[in-house]
């Protein structure tokens, strides 16, 4: 009896079908992947602001203590402090604060009574009684703007994917 030899390789047609299927999947997935990478700095900045404001509101009410969110438009940095920090602790908090990624910039901070602060530092206070200053933080990149509304008595921050002012 003769043994028949079987070829265990792939045919050219099978390889072409597999390569075509992989190409089609990459065609649809790469643009989505690129847009995720491009907007990642905006998403991480939005998450930091929203999360930090929520934490500061909770902490100020629990500790019955003043907390401050500092927004520096010149250094493009955000950090927090409390009313009892020493000058050295304030300096350390500023150095360890959140640096907004290079493609984004803090445009200004807007208050209903104080108006718009476009340079230097703006402070948003979170009071021990459980409320905060009402403020809008405006952040922009080359072509898009975001606004974060901090309400005095609401725990959540409202995010707008456009420039929104108190006059709007």
101-138 pLDDT per residue, tens: 888 899 999 999 889 999 999 999 999 898 999 999 99
- pLDDT for 7 equals 66
What's the order of all strands across the beta sheet hosting 157-160? 115-117, 105-111, 135-140, 145-150, 157-160
pLDDT tens figures, 14-44:
888 989 898 888 877 776 665 554 457 788 8
- Is the pLDDT at 3 greater than 80? The verdict is no
Question: pLDDT tens for residues 55-103?
Answer: 999 999 999 999 999 999 999 999 999 988 888 998 898 889 999 888 8
DSSP letter (8 states) at residue 4: P
Model confidence, pTM? 0.74
pLDDT (0 to 100) of residue 33: 60
The whole-number pLDDT of residue 142 equals 80
3-state helix, strand, coil in the chain (%, to 5): 35, 30, 35
pLDDT for residue 65: 92
Q: Under CATH, which number does the domain 40-160 receive?
A: 3.55.40.10
Question: With contact defined as beta carbons under 8 Å apart, do 111 and 127 qualify?
Answer: no
Position 102 scores a pLDDT of 80
| Three-state DSSP state, 136 | strand
- Closest among 101, 108, 102, 103 to 147, alpha carbons compared: 108
* pLDDT at residue 79 in the model: 92
- Judge whether residue 152 has pLDDT over 80: yes
Residue 6: its pLDDT value, please? Answer: 65
- CA 66 → CA 5, 63, 79, 83, distances in Å? 83, 9, 14, 5
């Amino acid at each position: 009896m003769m043994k028949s030899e079987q070829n265990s390789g792939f045919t050219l047609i099978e390889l072409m079908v597999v390569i075509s299927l992989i190409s089609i999947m990459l065609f649809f997935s790469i643009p989505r992947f690129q847009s995720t990478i491009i907007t990642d700095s905006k998403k991480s900045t939005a998450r930091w602001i929203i999360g930090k404001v929520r934490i500061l509101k909770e902490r100020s009410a629990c500790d019955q203590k003043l907390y401050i969110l500092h927004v520096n438009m010149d250094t493009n940095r955000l950090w927090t402090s409390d009313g009892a920090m020493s000058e050295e602790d304030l300096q350390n908090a500023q150095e360890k604060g959140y640096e907004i990624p290079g493609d984004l910039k803090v445009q200004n901070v807007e208050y209903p009574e104080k108006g718009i602060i476009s340079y230097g530092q703006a402070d948003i206070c979170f009071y021990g009684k459980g409320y905060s200053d009402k403020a809008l933080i405006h952040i922009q990149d080359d072509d898009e703007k975001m606004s974060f509304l901090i309400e005095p008595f609401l725990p959540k921050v409202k995010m707008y994917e456009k420039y929104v002012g108190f006059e709007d």
